[in-house]
Structure 1
């Protein structure tokens, strides 16, 4: 059923949405969507940075442990 929606169908849906909600409401809604996407990307980048920092800490602890093990032998 949804496979048969072409360009005219999409345009009709867009016109109906525009009439129902108005240009101002749609504009503010799209602004909020943009802010949400930006916030999501920022969170992903912060998470990746945190994982990289944790990995560096673990690697430095492993190197420190292996150095102390060599000294004892």
Structure 2
């Protein structure tokens, strides 16, 4: 009583085809496919925007992002050691 057999689904499919016709069902499925394609394209656009923002932020940081913080520079036991020969 709880589950539907294959025959129940076939009857439902037959009723849907009679009510809407084959052409209308095909149109609905085509629109559904276009919707999925549009959704995937929108997701791809979002990823491209995120990458562009990350690249912009990275370019704005410039070369100073590798420098030591001020506290670490004071802790260096041999300041200027890189200049010794």
| TM-score interval for Structure 1 and Structure 2 normalised by the shorter chain | 0.7 to 0.9
Higher radius of gyration, 1 or 2? 2
Identify the structure with bigger relative contact order (alpha carbons < 8 Å, sequence gap 6+): 1
* Deviation per residue, 1:27-69 (Å, 9 max, x gap): 111111111111111111111111111111112222x1726x7
Determine the C-alpha separation between the residues in 2 that align with 1:54 and 1:30.
36
User: Are 1:66 and 2:64 an aligned pair?
Assistant: yes
User: Are 1:47 and 2:54 an aligned pair?
Assistant: no
Determine the C-alpha separation between the residues in 2 that align with 1:8 and 1:58.
60
Give the gaps of 5 or more residues in structure 1.
none
Q: How many residues align?
A: 68
TM-score, length of structure 1 as denominator length: 0.75
Give the gaps of 5 or more residues in structure 2.
69-85
TM-score, length of structure 2 as denominator length: 0.66
Correspondences of 1:4-19 after superposition (within 5 Å): 4-19=3-18
The structure with the largest helix share of the pair is 1
